[in-house]
Every structure is written in structure tokens, then in C-alpha cells.
Structure 1
């Protein structure tokens, strides 16, 4: 998968990216896909050098077939894999000192080893004071801040007191995130550039066979994705349902709570626990499913929502994502979390009305085709890296 390279890339704007997880990692979900899509579409114009952890989210051992303390070639870009702990901090410091770059691109506000450490070194004059672009990736949303709220509030207060964010530019990927960032840092410079989706492939969605409503829940099993809420919603659905639960178990205690709820579902709900699937296989899940059910507490973007639309699977989601126009487009349903009965009613309607199901699925696929040719979003991302 990876090989060490020693040749210098062609002269292009050079962006040094510090991100918590990247390929071959998959368990971090959306952030990995966001970065992969960006590199796929702009990597020929910008030299991205990535620094990331040497293991997947939750793993105790490094990836096989990578070179430590060396640049690896991954998908046309250079990637440096660093270990956790003190060794990783020292390795990052050396990379920040020795690697030429025009812009430092930090992913995650709360990532101490990447963001806080880099900004502290910069403030102390231990690395060059280059421009910094920070993408919080939805971490300032009310839903995200509500998890471990006390620790995050204290961390924010400490960072604000130190002045580390002075002259840092924030990237917002939605209008809602712009507001979230300005609420935390009213004087900060904020630029808007949306997440990019993967270039579309030719997808064949087979004609729907008769049978129960096919629902996919796709996401890591943690409180943020709100699986327990989805299961409670399904307790009231009377129409036959085939539910697939797709995603790795990130929180075993939370999964135990969900297992208890699974036992309370009516006999009309057939449940298939799929677990983790490779990202390239998620599209097959959506080609199978009629509905993506995702009552999330918050999504910075929601790559699975875009992937569902591309496959013609109908998103039935919470109002805590940027996808607020689904119903206006006839392509899905965005429902406030304080209306669980409406989730239940919508799923019931989709399960009993073939005409509604077909009409909304066609609307979802049409929206997906429109997303796939979003030239404006590409230009906005391109503008981020025009370093003078």
C-alpha cells in the first residue's frame, strides 16, 4: 500500500496537513473521506504532505507495510505516520521544523497532539510562523460540544486565554459551522469551503423487489450517531422492516445499551448487525437500502448522506446536519430530534406507500447527480490553498 519516496515533488503550493487519521485507516469515517476526496480532486495542483497517526482509530498496533520516520507514497501524496505519545510529539516537531511548507492545515480543534502542540511550538518560536488554516470539522456544533461538555468548556477557556488562535484562519464547511465558529471565536477569520464528495461512478440500482422496507443505519456506534434513538423510533413502526446496522463499535458500553433496545423491537423488524464494512462497500449497502436512517446529534457534513443520495437511498435524518433542503427537493426527510413520532410516521408512510417511496427515491438520485457536479464547491476549496 505504501512505499518510501525520496524524490522532490514538482513545484506547487505546499500544504502540510496534520490530521488524526488517514488511509489505510477507515474507522474515523467522514474526516478520512473528506481528506481523501480533497486530495483526489486537488492533489495535482497542490502538494499535500500529510502527518497522521500510524494506526487506525482504536487500534493498539500500527498499520502493516508502512515506513516510520520516512515519507510514504499514498495515492500520489506524501504521508508520514507517527506513533502516539511523546515519540509522536517529537516526531511532529521535527517534521514541522524540517519540512518546507507554505500553509499549515490542521484538522480538529481538540486534537492536542496535532493542533495544540503545533500552535504551541509556533507561538514559542520553535517552528516557522507560517499561515495556519484550522478545520474544526463540526466540533463546535451544539451536539458535539454537549458530549464531555465540562472538559471541552475548560479546554476552550484555556486556549482562548493563551492566545494560540491569534492569526489562525478557520475553515467552515457549512453556513451553520460558520455560525458555530464565530460563537466560539467572534474575532476569528473564517473562510467557507464545503466538503467535497467523491467523483461519481456509474451506479446501477436494480428494480426494487417486493418485501419489507429496507433501512440502513450507517455510522460508528457511539452516542453522537444516536443509534439508540433510531431503535426507539422503530419500536413504533408497524410496517415490516429489514434493518441493517453498519459501522464499527466505538463505544462498547453504549452498544450494550443498544443491544438491550434491539430486544424490545417488534417481530415485524428484522435486524441484521453487519458491523464494519470497507468504505468502498458502503455504496452496495445504499444500493440495497430504501432508506438511510440517521438521527445524528450532529454532522459537520455527513458523507454517508451524500453517498445515500448518489445511490438513490432516501435520507431520513435529524436536523443537526447541513442537509436542510431534502424535503423541499423531494429527496428525503429532515426531522427535528424532539419529534420522534414524526420519524416513526415517515418510516411508516414509506413502508406502506410504494408511490411515495419511488417518488422520493427518484428525487434522492436526482439530488445526488447534482451534488456530483458541484463546480462551485471545488473552486472554493481551490481558493483555500492559493498561498501568496
Structure 2
């Protein structure tokens, strides 16, 4: 089977989707699927472990147009599109439709209410002109959680929907955190309004931080980061520091350095960094705008309605835990990831999805037809 994956970026700055797309493709290729990832060039592209079954092709919009003309059922079984809204992705949806190649669209959280409320007129126009048609004609829509599937149904899409979470390559996760004596809260994600950093700073102001510190890691627009730093100064916040971007080994070392991880996001269809923190054995605070109810059911963190007071309360409770309690929570979180989010299981589901589209197997239980 040959599958073409189209994604507009695998740059480090693109966040979780870049990692999940490339790592999932690597694992799927190990199961015997021939995959080509097609994407645009970028300054800090993630490393992809190519092989005889996994190829990487950097193409501009124009070169993709000429490449796509030759895609047909004779040489491609499935086209898998990552993200929506991008002209790069729309181009290949049009090619798939014209050449009658079945295609999958991974939504990647781009139709969630918070996202749709940003530039709403532009989004409505995009849906009207091309995006709704591209989605309606997809063989399958891929959601990473039930929350995202429900959003798609509310928007009126009746396609089959495959609910397959992102996975963690546990072989890349270093030894988990052992000591919880540092009294450090950490944030690691893009520096973006969606991530709720303003609320985090406001909540920090309400907390008796004592000798705890808050470290904020990530990259984004310099102007926005400067706004946040000015907020720290204006509110006379103490023990708060921006520490820049963290990738690869530095990322894991940073996560391990934290006693509690916080992601107060307004919208996440998954939140791969939550899974990474749990895999490292660090308890997590995140919001009910993310699909992480398991933090409560597995007693490995706090899952809250997002507002300043709730976030302040969660931080206060987290900082009141003993090192032994935090370690026990971290161990439960690590077990959760090992049992439910191993990337090898995710890759197996993806192959089952492709086989079902090709009529080679019965409908998997993770595909909803209603």
C-alpha cells in the first residue's frame, strides 16, 4: 500500500502536529506501508528517519501542483491530508477529487470553537468557498479525540470519523522524573494566545508562591512574548521566567526539571506535550478545553474549567502536595501513557483505517459512521 501524507510544515515551531505526523508516519512505515511525506521547506524542520518505506519530499506550492497531477489510483492508494485551511492542503484535496484517489483529512483541532471564533468571517468564507466541500468529500475524517468528533458532527459532517489519538514514542522518552524537591511549575508550548499564558500569569499573582518558581518555555512572536514580559513587570510577579524554546534532549530535561506541568489552553484537540509530561512522570494541570479527563480518572493531575480563579486554585493544591504525593501522581500518569498512548498502537490503528478504506478489512471499532 502506498500513502502520500501532505502537511504544510514539519518545522519545530509548528508544535505538536509536526512531531505527531512525522513520528506516526515512521511507525506506520515499519508496518509495511510505503509512505511519502510531502511538505514545504522550513528553517528548522524536524529530523525524519527516512527508510526504504518512508520518504520525505520538500515541495513548494507550484512544484506540488505539477507532482499532484500525476497522482492516481494506479500509483497512490490513499492521500492523507494533515490540517485544514491551508491552500497547500486544499490543492491536494482538489487533486484527489479530480483523480478519484480516496483521501483522509486529519483536522488537528482547526475546527474547534475557539479557533473558529478567530477571524470568523474569513473562516466562514473559507468554508463556503472550498473547505466544507473538501471535508465532505473525504473518505474519512480523522479526529484525535471524541471531543473533536463531536465538533465535526455539530458542524454537520456525516463522513465516517476515525478517532485515533496522537501517540508517544516511548523509546524516545528518557528515564522518568524521580525527585520532586525543586518546587518548580513549568509551561512548555508555543507562545500563543491560545495557550492561556495571560491567565496563567494572572493566576500566579493570586497564589502564595512562597519558594516555588514558574518557568515558561516555547517560542512565538517576539511582540507577544514582550507583551507577556511587560505583564509580569506591571503586576510585579516574582519567580517567573521565560527560558526560550526547548527541543530534543533539552525538552526532556526541561520537562523532568518540573514538579508540575501546566497547560492552561483555550483549545487543544490533543495536546501532545501533556502526554509527554505524563510520560516523563510529571503531574499535569490542564483545562476542560483539552481531551484530558483521564487526569482525573487516573489521578495524575487536574482537569479544570478555564478561568483565573480555577487555575489559581489548582496551582495552590498542586503546590501543597508532598514530594511523595507528586511522585505517585507522576507514576500513575506514566502508566496511563504506556497503556493507552504508545505510538505503536496508534500506528496499528492507522494501518487498520487505511485497510478499511481499501476494503481489505471489517470496520474497526474506532470508526464512527453516525
TM-score category of the 2 structures, normalised to the smaller one = 0.7 to 0.9
Matches within 5 A, 1:336-355: 336-338=305-307, 340-354=308-322
1:136 aligned partner:
107
The reply to whether residue 31 of structure 1 matches residue 17 of structure 2 is: yes
Q: How many Å separate the matches in 2 of 1:253 and 1:351? A: 31
| Mapping 1:17-96, distance limit 5 Å | 17-22=5-10, 25-44=11-30, 45-56=32-43, 74=50, 77-83=54-60, 88=61, 90-96=62-68
SS at match of 2:262: strand
Q: Higher helix proportion, which one?
A: 2
Question: Tell me, what secondary structure is at the counterpart of 1:43?
Answer: helix
Q: What TM-score, normalized to structure 2? A: 0.86
Aligned-residue CA RMSD in angstroms? 2.6
Take 1:172 and 1:270, find their aligned partners in 2: how far apart are those partners?
38
Report how many aligned residue pairs link the two structures.
349
Give ranges in structure 1 of 5+ residues lacking alignment: 1-12, 58-62, 67-71
Please give the alpha-carbon distance, in whole angstroms, between the structure 2 residues aligned to 1:79 and 1:377.
21
**Separation (CA, whole Å) in 2 of partners of 1:148 and 1:366:** 40
| Shift in CA distance, 237/166, structure 1 to aligned 2, threshold 3 Å | same
Corresponding residue of 2:150: 179
Q: Displacement of 1:56 after TM fit?
A: 4.2
Shift of 1:385: 2.0
Structure 1 pair 376–49 and aligned structure 2 pair: CA distance change class (3 A): closer
Q: Which residues of structure 2 form unaligned runs of 5+?
A: 360-370
How far, CA to CA, are the matches of 2:49 and 2:212 in structure 1?
A: 45
2:80 paired residue number: 105
Q: Give matches, 1:213-362, under 5 Å.
A: 213-239=183-209, 240-249=211-220, 251-265=221-235, 269-338=238-307, 340-354=308-322, 356-362=325-331
Q: Is the 8 A contact 2:281 2:327 kept in 1?
A: no
Q: 1:111-160 CA deviation, whole Å, 9 max, x = no partner?
A: 1122x22233444x3xx210011111111111221222221122112236
Q: Which has the higher contact order (CA 8 A, sep 6+)?
A: 2
Q: How big is each residue's C-alpha offset from its partner over 1:255-280, in whole Å with a ceiling of 9 and x where there is no partner? A: 2321122214556x312322112234
**How far apart are 1:206 and its partner, in Å?**
3.6
Shift of 1:105: 0.6
1:27–1:56 contact (8 Å) kept in structure 2 = no
Q: Is the deviation greater in 371-380 or in 303-312? A: 371-380
Query: 1:373 and 1:50 mapped to 2: Cα distance?
Result: 22
User: How high is the TM-score relative to the length of structure 1?
Assistant: 0.82
Quote the Cα distance in structure 2 between the aligned partners of 1:163 and 1:324: 31
Shift in Å at residue 190 of structure 1? 1.7
- In structure 1, what is the Cα distance between the partners aligned to 2:149 and 2:135? 20
